[in-house]
Protein backbone atom coordinates (compact mmCIF):
# COMPACT_ATOMS: atom_id res chain seq x y z
CA UNK A 1 0.00 0.00 0.00
CA UNK A 2 2.86 2.38 0.82
CA UNK A 3 4.59 1.68 -2.50
CA UNK A 4 1.39 2.12 -4.49
CA UNK A 5 0.38 5.23 -2.53
CA UNK A 6 3.74 6.88 -3.18
CA UNK A 7 3.86 6.01 -6.87
CA UNK A 8 0.30 7.24 -7.41
CA UNK A 9 0.41 10.38 -5.26
CA UNK A 10 3.93 11.74 -4.86
CA UNK A 11 4.44 14.95 -6.81
CA UNK A 12 8.19 14.96 -7.41
CA UNK A 13 8.05 18.31 -9.21
CA UNK A 14 7.10 19.87 -5.87
CA UNK A 15 9.40 17.64 -3.80
CA UNK A 16 12.35 18.26 -6.09
CA UNK A 17 15.44 18.99 -4.04
CA UNK A 18 18.70 17.14 -3.49
CA UNK A 19 17.42 15.72 -0.16
CA UNK A 20 14.17 13.80 0.46
CA UNK A 21 13.23 13.82 4.16
CA UNK A 22 11.20 11.10 5.84
CA UNK A 23 10.01 10.97 9.47
CA UNK A 24 8.71 7.87 11.24
CA UNK A 25 6.72 9.01 14.29
CA UNK A 26 6.48 6.53 17.20
CA UNK A 27 9.23 4.33 15.73
CA UNK A 28 10.12 2.27 18.85
CA UNK A 29 13.38 0.31 18.51
CA UNK A 30 12.78 -1.64 15.29
CA UNK A 31 12.59 -3.74 13.24
CA UNK A 32 9.16 -2.60 11.87
CA UNK A 33 10.32 0.99 11.44
CA UNK A 34 13.19 -0.13 9.17
CA UNK A 35 10.82 -2.18 6.99
CA UNK A 36 8.46 0.79 6.62
CA UNK A 37 11.31 3.19 5.80
CA UNK A 38 12.75 0.74 3.26
CA UNK A 39 9.34 0.61 1.52
CA UNK A 40 9.09 4.41 1.46
CA UNK A 41 12.62 4.80 0.04
CA UNK A 42 11.82 2.12 -2.57
CA UNK A 43 8.55 3.84 -3.55
CA UNK A 44 10.19 7.27 -3.91
CA UNK A 45 13.10 5.75 -5.87
CA UNK A 46 10.69 4.00 -8.27
CA UNK A 47 8.76 7.24 -8.73
CA UNK A 48 11.92 9.21 -9.54
CA UNK A 49 12.99 6.54 -12.03
CA UNK A 50 9.76 7.09 -13.99
CA UNK A 51 11.01 10.64 -14.72
CA UNK A 52 14.16 10.30 -16.77
CA UNK A 53 15.20 13.93 -16.23
CA UNK A 54 15.16 13.74 -12.39
CA UNK A 55 18.25 12.94 -10.34
CA UNK A 56 17.60 10.62 -7.40
CA UNK A 57 17.79 12.63 -4.13
CA UNK A 58 19.66 11.52 -1.01
CA UNK A 59 17.41 10.31 1.80
CA UNK A 60 17.41 11.71 5.35
CA UNK A 61 15.30 9.69 7.80
CA UNK A 62 14.25 10.99 11.22
CA UNK A 63 13.24 8.33 13.75
CA UNK A 64 10.98 9.82 16.43
CA UNK A 65 9.69 8.48 19.71
CA UNK A 66 9.32 9.61 23.34
CA UNK A 67 12.57 10.63 25.06
CA UNK A 68 12.24 7.45 27.16
CA UNK A 69 12.48 5.27 24.01
CA UNK A 70 15.63 3.13 23.83
CA UNK A 71 17.30 5.09 21.02
CA UNK A 72 20.61 3.29 21.64
CA UNK A 73 19.00 -0.02 20.71
CA UNK A 74 17.34 1.63 17.70
CA UNK A 75 20.68 3.00 16.46
CA UNK A 76 22.43 -0.34 17.09
CA UNK A 77 19.73 -2.04 14.98
CA UNK A 78 20.15 0.33 11.98
CA UNK A 79 20.46 -1.91 8.88
CA UNK A 80 24.07 -1.85 7.65
CA UNK A 81 23.02 -1.68 3.99
CA UNK A 82 20.53 1.21 4.40
CA UNK A 83 20.24 3.69 1.59
CA UNK A 84 19.62 6.71 3.84
CA UNK A 85 21.09 8.89 6.58
CA UNK A 86 19.38 8.23 9.92
CA UNK A 87 18.90 10.40 13.02
CA UNK A 88 16.85 10.17 16.21
CA UNK A 89 14.36 12.90 17.18
CA UNK A 90 13.10 12.56 20.77
CA UNK A 91 9.81 14.11 21.92
CA UNK A 92 6.05 13.81 21.67
CA UNK A 93 4.50 13.89 18.20
CA UNK A 94 1.57 15.80 19.71
CA UNK A 95 3.71 18.92 19.37
CA UNK A 96 6.18 20.42 16.89
CA UNK A 97 9.31 18.30 16.28
CA UNK A 98 10.68 19.68 12.98
CA UNK A 99 11.23 23.04 11.23
CA UNK A 100 8.52 24.43 8.99
CA UNK A 101 8.04 22.78 5.57
CA UNK A 102 10.96 20.42 6.14
CA UNK A 103 9.40 16.94 5.70
CA UNK A 104 8.52 15.22 2.41
CA UNK A 105 7.03 12.08 3.92
CA UNK A 106 5.58 11.42 7.39
CA UNK A 107 4.83 7.87 8.48
CA UNK A 108 3.34 6.63 11.75
CA UNK A 109 2.29 3.04 12.48
CA UNK A 110 0.45 1.69 15.53
CA UNK A 111 1.37 4.75 17.59
CA UNK A 112 -1.42 7.31 17.18
CA UNK A 113 -3.84 5.26 19.27
CA UNK A 114 -1.86 6.27 22.39
CA UNK A 115 -3.34 9.30 24.10
CA UNK A 116 -1.15 12.14 25.37
CA UNK A 117 -2.78 11.72 28.81
CA UNK A 118 -5.67 9.98 30.55
CA UNK A 119 -8.87 12.02 30.03
CA UNK A 120 -9.13 14.72 32.72
CA UNK A 121 -12.68 13.60 33.67
CA UNK A 122 -11.25 10.30 34.97
CA UNK A 123 -9.46 12.08 37.81
CA UNK A 124 -12.73 13.09 39.53
CA UNK A 125 -13.07 10.12 41.90
CA UNK A 126 -16.64 11.09 42.84
CA UNK A 127 -17.88 10.95 39.26
CA UNK A 128 -19.10 7.83 37.40
CA UNK A 129 -16.66 8.89 34.66
CA UNK A 130 -13.69 8.04 36.93
CA UNK A 131 -13.94 4.49 35.55
CA UNK A 132 -13.36 2.85 38.93
CA UNK A 133 -12.10 -0.73 38.70
CA UNK A 134 -11.23 -0.48 35.00
CA UNK A 135 -8.20 0.50 32.97
CA UNK A 136 -9.94 0.96 29.61
CA UNK A 137 -13.26 2.17 28.18
CA UNK A 138 -14.41 -1.29 26.99
CA UNK A 139 -17.43 -2.36 29.12
CA UNK A 140 -17.49 1.10 30.77
CA UNK A 141 -20.42 3.57 30.90
CA UNK A 142 -20.86 5.61 27.68
CA UNK A 143 -19.58 8.77 29.42
CA UNK A 144 -16.20 7.10 29.90
CA UNK A 145 -15.96 6.22 26.20
CA UNK A 146 -16.91 9.82 25.38
CA UNK A 147 -14.16 11.14 27.68
CA UNK A 148 -11.57 8.99 25.86
CA UNK A 149 -13.00 10.00 22.50
CA UNK A 150 -12.80 13.73 23.38
CA UNK A 151 -9.19 13.36 24.48
CA UNK A 152 -8.42 11.52 21.22
CA UNK A 153 -10.00 14.32 19.17
CA UNK A 154 -7.86 16.92 21.00
CA UNK A 155 -4.72 14.83 20.51
CA UNK A 156 -5.36 14.29 16.80
CA UNK A 157 -5.98 18.00 16.37
CA UNK A 158 -2.61 18.89 17.91
CA UNK A 159 -0.87 16.12 15.92
CA UNK A 160 -2.34 17.36 12.62
CA UNK A 161 -1.71 21.04 13.44
CA UNK A 162 1.99 20.30 14.07
CA UNK A 163 2.34 18.21 10.89
CA UNK A 164 0.54 20.90 8.84
CA UNK A 165 3.45 23.22 9.71
CA UNK A 166 6.18 20.67 9.15
CA UNK A 167 5.21 18.97 5.89
CA UNK A 168 6.67 20.55 2.75
CA UNK A 169 4.38 21.46 -0.18
CA UNK A 170 3.50 18.26 -2.07
CA UNK A 171 4.51 16.10 0.91
CA UNK A 172 2.64 12.97 1.92
CA UNK A 173 1.60 11.36 5.18
CA UNK A 174 0.70 7.69 5.87
CA UNK A 175 -0.82 6.66 9.20
CA UNK A 176 -1.74 3.18 10.39
CA UNK A 177 -4.10 3.43 13.36
CA UNK A 178 -5.87 0.46 14.96
CA UNK A 179 -9.59 1.08 15.32
CA UNK A 180 -13.01 -0.52 15.07
CA UNK A 181 -15.71 -0.19 12.41
CA UNK A 182 -18.41 2.49 12.84
CA UNK A 183 -21.46 1.18 14.67
CA UNK A 184 -19.63 -1.43 16.78
CA UNK A 185 -19.56 -1.28 20.58
CA UNK A 186 -16.35 -0.44 22.50
CA UNK A 187 -16.47 -3.98 23.92
CA UNK A 188 -16.25 -5.32 20.34
CA UNK A 189 -12.79 -3.79 19.86
CA UNK A 190 -10.63 -6.79 18.96
CA UNK A 191 -8.12 -6.13 21.75
CA UNK A 192 -10.64 -5.39 24.51
CA UNK A 193 -10.34 -8.92 25.95
CA UNK A 194 -6.57 -8.34 26.35
CA UNK A 195 -7.19 -5.14 28.31
CA UNK A 196 -9.74 -7.02 30.44
CA UNK A 197 -7.14 -9.69 31.28
CA UNK A 198 -4.59 -7.06 32.31
CA UNK A 199 -7.34 -5.33 34.29
CA UNK A 200 -8.21 -8.56 36.21
CA UNK A 201 -4.52 -9.14 37.01
CA UNK A 202 -4.05 -5.59 38.29
CA UNK A 203 -7.20 -5.81 40.44
CA UNK A 204 -6.00 -9.16 41.88
CA UNK A 205 -2.65 -7.59 42.74
CA UNK A 206 -4.30 -4.56 44.38
CA UNK A 207 -6.61 -6.86 46.39
CA UNK A 208 -3.64 -8.94 47.50
CA UNK A 209 -1.77 -5.84 48.70
CA UNK A 210 -4.93 -4.61 50.52
CA UNK A 211 -5.32 -8.06 52.13
CA UNK A 212 -1.72 -7.94 53.44
CA UNK A 213 -2.15 -4.39 54.70
CA UNK A 214 -5.36 -5.21 56.64
CA UNK A 215 -4.50 -6.01 60.30
C1 LIG B 1 3.14 -0.13 19.40
S2 LIG B 1 4.61 0.82 19.20
C3 LIG B 1 4.73 0.85 17.43
C4 LIG B 1 6.17 0.91 16.98
C5 LIG B 1 6.41 0.91 15.48
N6 LIG B 1 5.83 2.08 14.85
C7 LIG B 1 5.86 -0.34 14.84
O8 LIG B 1 5.04 -0.23 13.91
O9 LIG B 1 6.24 -1.44 15.27
C10 LIG B 1 4.04 2.48 19.58
C11 LIG B 1 5.18 3.47 19.76
O12 LIG B 1 4.64 4.78 19.74
C13 LIG B 1 5.34 5.56 20.68
N14 LIG B 1 4.53 6.73 21.05
C15 LIG B 1 3.32 6.74 21.67
N16 LIG B 1 2.90 8.01 21.86
C17 LIG B 1 3.88 8.81 21.34
C18 LIG B 1 4.03 10.23 21.24
N19 LIG B 1 3.10 11.06 21.72
N20 LIG B 1 5.15 10.72 20.64
C21 LIG B 1 6.09 9.88 20.16
N22 LIG B 1 6.01 8.52 20.22
C23 LIG B 1 4.91 8.00 20.81
C24 LIG B 1 5.57 4.59 21.83
O25 LIG B 1 6.59 5.06 22.69
C26 LIG B 1 5.92 3.31 21.09
O27 LIG B 1 7.30 3.18 20.86
pLDDT at 129: 83
Residue 117 CA to ligand 1 centre (angstroms): 14
Ligand 1: residue of 111, 154, 160, 163 to mutate (most ligand atoms within 8 A of CB) is 111
> Would the CB of 192 count as within 6 Å of ligand 1?
no
Q: How confident is the model at residue 117 (pLDDT cuts 50, 70, 90)?
A: very high
Given its phi and psi angles, is residue 110 left (phi above 0), alpha (psi -120 to 50 degrees) or beta?
left
Instruction: Please state, rounded to an integer, the average pLDDT across all residues of the chain.
Output: 92
The arrangement of secondary structure in 2-213, i.e. its CATH architecture, is 3-Layer(aba) Sandwich (3.40)
Three-class DSSP category at 24:
strand
Q: How far apart are the first and last CA of the chain?
A: 61
Percent of the chain with pLDDT over 90: 67
Candidates 177, 163, 160, 172; CA nearest to 40 is: 172
Looking at mean pLDDT, say which of 13-27, 60-74, 124-138 comes out highest: 60-74
Name the residue ranges covered by the structural domains of the chain.
2-213
pLDDT per residue over 45-62, tens digit each? 999 988 767 789 999 999
Question: What's the pLDDT score for residue 135?
Answer: 85
Q: Is 94 in the pocket of ligand 1 (CB under 6 A)?
A: yes
pLDDT in tens, 147-177: 999 999 999 999 999 999 999 999 999 999 9
The more confident residue out of 66 and 184 is 66
> Ligand 1 atom 8: the closest Cα is on which residue?
109
Note whether 134 and 202 are within 8 A (CB): no
Amino acid sequence: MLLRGIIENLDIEQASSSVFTIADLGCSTGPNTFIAVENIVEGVTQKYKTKSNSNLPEFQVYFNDHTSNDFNTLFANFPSNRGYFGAGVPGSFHGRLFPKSSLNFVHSASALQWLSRAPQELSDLNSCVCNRGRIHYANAPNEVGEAYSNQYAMDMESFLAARAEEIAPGGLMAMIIPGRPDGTLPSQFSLSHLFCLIEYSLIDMVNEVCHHLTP
